[in-house]
Structure formats: structure tokens, C-alpha cells
Amino acid sequence: MTTATSPRSREFVATVKLLTFPLLILAMFGLFAMFEPRIASARNLVNISSQSTYLIVFALAQTVVLVPRGFDLSLGNAVSFTSVATALALTSSFAAGLPGYAVVVLGLLTGLACGTAVGLFNGFFASVLGIRSFIVTLGAMNICYGLSATISGGRPVFNVPEAFTTFFYSGTFAGIPAPILWTACVAIAVHVVLSNTVFGRTLYLMGCNPRAVEVAGLPRRKYFAIAFVLSGALVAIGALMLTARTGTGEPNLGGNLLLQAIAAAVMGGVSLSGGRGGVFHAITGALFITVLSNGLNFLQISGYLQQIILGLVIILAIALDKSRD
Amino acid sequence: MTRSKQASDASQNELLRLTGITKRFPGVLALSNVNFDLKEGEVHVLFGENGAGKSTLINVISGVLTPSEGAISLYGQPFRFSSPQDAREQGISPVFQEFSLIPDMTVEENLYLGREETTHGFLRKKEMRRAAMRILARLGFGIAPNARVSALPRAQQQMVEIAKALVTDPRILILDEPTASLTEAESARLFEFVRELRAQGVGIIYISHRMREIRDLADRVTVLRDGALISTVHAQDVTDDEMVELMTGRKAGVLYPRIPHNPGNVMLEARDLHTVRDRVRDASFQVRAGEIVGIAGLVGCGKSELVRAAFGLEPIDRGEVQFDGDTYAHPTAAQSLEHGICYFPADRGAEGLAATRPILENASMAALPENAFSIRGFLRKGSEKSRVQEIMERLQLRPMRLFAAVGSLSGGNRQKVVLARGMTRGTQVFLFDEPTVGIDVGAKAEIYALLGELVAEGAAVVLVSSELPEILGLSHRVYVMHNARVVAHLEGDEITEDRILSHFFTDHTDAA
């Protein structure tokens, strides 16, 4: 049996495959713009890129656990919990009168502590006790909901200090808006971890065959737990960026995020059965969802109808995922 | 030669005839103008190297694939299969290498999967159980119908797979390497059964790489090479060597190389190992540099578990393992690898390879913490690639495509990727668990030659194998296991088929 495809043509096919989805997003964008020219305005383009940043971070968080064949249902409520807890820390009497940089550091530390704590919880039960991550994070989802409702009393926490909102939302650094800059940093860091470290390589291998990884002497359980902690830290960074944007700690912030993050990751090409997908996929997936909802907003499609469309998109994404195997 | 013979057999009824079958896949010609026929009450063996087109051919016969060209006639009538169900209804039952069983269901649920017997929509459980018991009893393997498939050893799963094919009383049975996971004794029982079916007039298409089986069972043999029909011959008309020549297209060499025995230091020693689940009881073995030590025994005797425990994959209750001057009560895989010991799993799909990942990543998997592959947790991709390339060249990987997914490779190439893993770091002790299961003769010879090279370079090799000729042909010393214990240690001239077999079946040490 001989194959007729040369290495060069294989490379070509791979490139085409990689570019199909971004081109599809462009086509969808063009279609929307035909109905509503304002969609193609410079202002809306800036709008889309800054809106997509949050989803990119959350899609990356989901990707980091999907690759080693995990799943994180707690993402949305972990965002709410982190947001409320950070806002409370920042508005407490203790924080009053702190200089600007200290406010930022305090916020960052509180947020990361909350996010990684949730990740550690998920990672511990999923890897050390070997409970399915679907179940563990379902529990964590409820726990996070309870925690954020309890500490906030179910009400938004107002008066988040300006130093914090500037750093994570309204400020610019060398002309780059803060959300875009931080998202770029996060994306580069995650890319380096996934494709240039032993840890990242192992995540892909165990997503494909966990037994093989054990036979090869690699620390499967430890790395699986670390993946959840890393994912938790990414969730925290996204939550801080969202908190800065709204200027409040919101107990209901996470609402749609879980579904959107999963849809973005899977739509972009991250496999639900593990072992496939990376930063590029998470970003394109997030852009797809953002362009879609932006276009639907401009066309004045009702929010409820958009929910239905998002649901269908997720099912479509999973069907695509299955067909790739 | 074949023409006249076939004509003289015309008294037997023809079940199946394929004429000029061609199957194209995008970029690949899998079958080219192949003729094949099957008569009532015969065993017709399909013989060929991996990738010769055997699987494609049986997939065509069982309705899984539609041929691009050619005609099929079934029971004398022209026929076109539209689906596997269609073929099944026509009395064709295939048993593929890949199991179709659902692990979480019981044996009897699996047997009747998709063809449950019902009255007004309700399952007739009692009748199905009775029928299941009848079929299983006929096979004679003592499998309980209500056992969960995932709890059965691989050999018994194989028997369930065969039982499943028999539920519908097929007229044509297809067996694809059915003995790959069976011991000699289990195989013998299966052969008896195949003969019984043949006597009842069932036509059997049988795929195997094992010469002995072909000798035992085959009436006719069809040899395929590179998707083309080479010849159909009567089994008694050809010698083994002629058959291998037909298959490979080259002169048959000596399969087992002569490997000099130069025993050096003890590299690995297990003393009175007893595993937590009692699969190994108080077993000891040692292997020295420059020798091949065989571990023989029936499937399920604990020979695989013994080396797995010594490597660090089976929890150990008591006993100890010694290597590199240190003693370990509970060695881990990572420790063993660090000290130059590498285990090569029998089930390459389940334990060895990450199928969707590239060859490169699979080959370097066990060596990632080494300095040549990473520094402080960061991969050295350039160094990784050149190291792996070097090793794959030594192993003669063809085609050399380091970024191809392992899942797209043939059995022989997959085994090469697994072997590469042991060579990416300074491995001195090679623990091979059934290294040639499901591999064609050509690739086998390459692997045996590699074992010889390794030993000549001073490596210590442990060879766990259910294939007795392999143990006899390669080992300098042999440990025989029975019922979780090491019951014999044979050396030099003591290593004979009779002596090993006598220890397979006697329970003499269990009385102690």
C-alpha cells in the first residue's frame, strides 16, 4: 500500500485546515456587515476585540483542563465568587487609603487565591481521589454559587477602587488597552506552557492515553491536579478583568460564561475527549462566539433567542468534535 | 497448479466467490483485482504481511466496505451488501481484531446486542440466558453469562467475541487473528471448535500470522501482498518457507538469530515478590547483562504481572526488587526508568501509545525528564527531534514521518515506536511483554534481530511471551510460571518444548 500524498501536499492540507475556521469567522462577519454596515465600523472592530478578550481567557481556562481529558463546570460560578470576594477585599476598610499599586496587588492576590483555591479543590478530588471531573466540578459549581451569594448577601459590591479598574480595564499601556494586553500575556504564557514544557506535553499525551503516560513514568495525577490549579488561576484573571469592567463585584457575573467558554473551546477545535487543541483554537473559538453575538445584537435579535442560538451552537460544536475523531 | 486442484473440489458447494475485487481509498489502492472463493466445510486462510489488504478484504466480505470494482456472488447468486447487518442476515459473521463488546455490559447482553429476543417488546431474558449458556458451553471456556465483560481477561473477551458471532448460526465465519491473545492450550481448544464447525459445513475464513495454526487448520491458503492476490494454494502442497516467500516476496531467512550468551552483572533481581491482588505469589527472578531471560506460562499465570510489578506498575504486597545497587519494596515506573529499566507493554493500544499524537511525542514520552529532552521542565525540541530521528533510523521506520499520528501506522511500525521509547534514554534492562503479538513475520524478524543487537551491546533482556517457539528460539534461560508462581528455572539444554509444557500443566508446587 502506498500513499499518493507527498509531505508538501500534506503540509498544504494542514495549513488549509488551520485557516478554514478563521475564514469562516470572516465570512460570517461579512454576512452580518451586509445587513448592517455599522458592524464593519472601526469602532465596532475595537469593540469586538475588547469584548472577545474575556471569553478568550475563559476559553483558555477550559482548554487547559479539556486537553488532559478533564472538564470544568465550575468556571462560571468561580468567576462570580472571585469577583465578589475581590471586590469585598478592595472595598473593605482595611483597603481604604492604600496607594494605587497596593490596591492592584491586593486585588490580584485575592483573586488568584480564590481562583486557584477552586482549582485546587477540583484538582484534588479529580486526581487524588479519581472522581470524574464532571462530577467534582458540578459540586464545585454549586459550592461557588453558595459562597458568592453568602459573602455578598446576594447584592453587587459597589465602589471598586479606580486604581484597580484602570489597571485591568480602562488603562492603556504603550497605547494598548489593558484587557487586550493582559489577554495577550495570558495567551502567550499558556501557549508556552502547553507546547514547550514537559508538563504541557504530558497533558496532551494523557488526554490521548492516560495509561500510556503512567507506563512512561510521567506523574499523571500530579499534572492533572496542576492543570486544574492553572485553569483556576486563568479563571481568576478573567474574573478580575470583568470585575474591573463593571466596576462592581457581581454575584451573577458568571451566568452565561460557562457555556460560552465550552462552546468557544470546542468550536475552535479543542477536543472534548482530550489530547487535541491549543491556544490558537481557544482564541478563534472565542472570536467566533463574540462575532456571532455582536452581529446578533446589531440585528436586534432578542437575548432569549440568542440563548437558543448559543445552545444550538454548542451542540453543533460537539457534533463537529465527534466527526473529527 | 491451483486451477486443476480447485476443479477437482467442485463437489463441495461454493458459499462465496469474489471476482476482480478492487478497493480504492483516497490516495491508496488497498485491493487490486483480487479473486477469492470459499467452499462449504473448509478453512480458508488469508495470509500476508500487515498492510497486504487482508483486513480490507474481510471488510468487503462482511459488508463494512463497498468494493470500488468487482463482483460478489453468495451461495451461487450475485449479491451486493448494503451494510454489515445485511451481510449478517445472509449468514456471514465476522470476528474482528478490534473487539466490538461493550465493556460495561454482561456477556449475555453483549451476545444479543442489537438482536434481543422479545415478546411484545419485552425481553425474553430466560431464553436468551439459556441460549447464551449453550453457546458458551460449546466453546468450553467456563465463562459465566452474567459476568461483566470488563472484568474478563482479554483471552475470555476474545471467546465472547467469537460466541457473539455464533449466536446467529452463521454459514460463513470470519476469524481475524483469533489466537493473538490466547495461550497454546486455549488456542488448541479453539482449533477443535473450528474443526467441529467445519465438519458441520460452515465455511471459515481465517487470518493468522502463525505458521503452526495454518498447518493445523488450513485447507487452502490465499496469499496477498501489497493489495494484490499472489496465489491460492492447497495447504498440504507448500512448505512453511515457500509460504513465507510468497508473502514477503523474498527468500525466507532464519527467523531467530543466534544470540551469544555473555552473562555479566545482575542488572535486575526480584525476590519473593507478592502482588496485592495475588496475581503473583512469592516469585523471584533475575536477569544479567548480556542475556535474554524468557518467562513462559499460560495467559493469566501471572508472567506479565511479575515484570509489571518489578517495573512498578502493579502494587506490591511483600518482597523486594533490586537494581543498580539499591533495594526497593515499592518501585515506581519513574524510578525504574531513571535507573535504565524500561517496560514495553503487551497491549500497545491500551498502554503503550497515544494514538492521536505524533510519532515523535510517543517515542520521547518516557525520556522527557532527561537532560537531552528538557531543561528545568522546558522541552528542548530541536534536540528531541534529532535524537528521535536517529533512533527511528536505526529501527528502520518506513516511511520516516516523525509528525504522523501513531494511530495511522501499521502494527509493526507501532511496535517500533514503542521500542524507540526504550532507546531514547540509556536503557540497560529491557522488559518485553509479548513483543510480537499481532506483528507479521517480516517485522518479527526485525525485532528479533534488534534483541540480538541489544544483548550483544550488553543489555539485559526479559522476554515475556505466550508464544513458545519465540521463548525456545531466543532465551538463554527460562522461568516457567504457573498459577502465579515461578515453578521452574531452565538453562541451556534444559530448554525444550516438552520440559516447558510439562510445567505449564502440572500443579506440583501448589501442594506446598
Cell of B42: 473448509
Q: Lowest-confidence range among A159-163, B239-243, B270-274? A: B239-243
Strand, helix or coil at B55? helix
Do A211 and B226 count as a contact with CB atoms less than 8 A apart?
no
Q: Which residues of B touch A218 (CB under 8 A)?
A: 334, 365-366, 368
Q: Which residue of A has its CA nearest to B425?
A: A216
Are the C-beta atoms of residues B333 and B313 closer than 8 Å to each other?
A: yes
Q: Lowest-confidence range among B101-105, B424-428, B450-454? A: B101-105
Q: How many CB pairs under 8 A join A and B?
A: 93
Q: What's residue B506's pLDDT?
A: 62
Confidence check on the interface: ipTM exceeds 0.90, yes or no: no
Rg (CA), chain B: 24
Q: How would you classify the pairing of strands B43-47 and B220-225?
A: parallel
Q: Lowest-confidence range among A112-126, A184-198, B471-485? A: B471-485
- B353 vs A: CB within 8 A: yes
Question: What number is the average pLDDT over the span A179-197?
Answer: 96
Nearest to B379 among A197, A212, A275 (CB): A197
Share of chain A above pLDDT 70, in %: 96
Residue B133 has pLDDT above 90, yes or no: no
Q: What's residue B4's pLDDT?
A: 40
Q: Which residue of A has its CA nearest to B421?
A: A216
Tens digit of each residue's pLDDT (9 = 90 or more) over A74-83: 999 999 999 9
Fold observed for domain B2-248 = Rossmann fold (3.40.50)
Q: Is the pTM of this model over 0.90?
A: no
Domain, as residue range, for A175? 48-255
- A275 vs B: CB within 8 A: yes
Residue to mutate among A66, A209, A223, with most B CBs inside 10 A, is: A209
Per-chain mean pLDDT for chain A = 91
Tens digit of each residue's pLDDT (9 = 90 or more) over A213-231: 999 999 999 999 999 999 9
Point out which residues pair with B431 in neighbouring strands.
Answer: B343, B462
Tens digit of each residue's pLDDT (9 = 90 or more) over B3-14: 444 444 444 688
Task: Tell me, yes or no, whether A61 lies in a domain.
Answer: yes
Q: Which residues of A touch B29 (CB under 8 A)?
A: 1-2
Q: What's residue B14's pLDDT?
A: 84
Q: Which residues of A touch B337 (CB under 8 A)?
A: 216-217
Q: How confident is the model at residue B252 (pLDDT cuts 50, 70, 90)?
A: low
- Give the count of domains, chain A: 1
- B22 vs A: CB within 8 A: no
- A7 vs B: CB within 8 A: yes
Cell of B392: 527511528
Query: Which is higher by pLDDT, B304 or B258?
Result: B304
Whether residue B399 has a cis bond before it, omega within 30° of 0: yes
Q: How far is CA B342 from CA B213, B382, B394, B402, B445, in A?
A: 32, 24, 18, 22, 21
Do A198 and B334 count as a contact with CB atoms less than 8 A apart?
no
Question: What number is the average pLDDT over the span B72-101?
Answer: 82
Residue B156 has pLDDT above 90, yes or no: no
User: Could you state, in order of their start, the residue ranges of all structural domains in chain B?
Assistant: 2-248, 266-505
Same CATH topology for B2-248 and B266-505: the answer is yes
Query: Which is higher by pLDDT, B184 or A227?
Result: A227
Q: What's residue B349's pLDDT?
A: 81
Q: How confident is the model at residue B385 (pLDDT cuts 50, 70, 90)?
A: very high
- B405 vs A: CB within 8 A: no
Q: How confident is the model at residue B413 (pLDDT cuts 50, 70, 90)?
A: confident
Q: Which residues are within 8 A (CB) of B338 and not within 5 positions of it... i.e. 6 or more apart?
A: A217, B369
- A199 vs B: CB within 8 A: yes
Do A7 and B401 count as a contact with CB atoms less than 8 A apart?
yes
Q: Lowest-confidence range among A169-183, A212-226, B303-317, B393-407? A: B393-407
Are the C-beta atoms of residues B453 and B461 closer than 8 Å to each other?
A: no
Cell of B220: 487452502
Q: What's residue B254's pLDDT?
A: 64
Q: Which residue has the cell 479543542?
A: A270
Query: Which is higher by pLDDT, B393 or A94?
Result: B393
Give the gap in angstroms from C-alpha B407 to the nearest C-alpha of chain A.
11
Per-chain mean pLDDT for chain B = 84
Do A205 and B357 count as a contact with CB atoms less than 8 A apart?
yes
Question: What number is the average pLDDT over the span B168-187?
Answer: 82
Query: Which is higher by pLDDT, B13 or B328?
Result: B328
Q: Which residues of A touch B351 (CB under 8 A)?
A: 209, 211-212, 215
Task: Tell me, yes or no, whether A8 lies in a domain.
Answer: no
Q: How confident is the model at residue A1 (pLDDT cuts 50, 70, 90)?
A: very low
Question: What number is the average pLDDT over the span A222-248?
Answer: 96
Residue B473 has pLDDT above 70, yes or no: yes
Residue B173 has pLDDT above 70, yes or no: yes
Pick from B348, B358, B356, B349: nearest CA to B402: B358
Residue B239 has pLDDT above 90, yes or no: no
Long-range contacts of A108-112, Cβ-Cβ distance < 8 Å, separation of 24 or more? A108/A240, A110/A85, A110/A86, A111/A82, A111/A85, A111/A86, A111/A236, A111/A237, A111/A239, A111/A240, A111/A243, A112/A233, A112/A236, A112/A237
Residue A61 has pLDDT above 90, yes or no: yes
Q: Which residue of B has its CA nearest to A324?
A: B356
Are the C-beta atoms of residues B321 and B462 closer than 8 Å to each other?
A: no
Do B334 and A219 count as a contact with CB atoms less than 8 A apart?
yes
CATH number of B266-505: 3.40.50.300
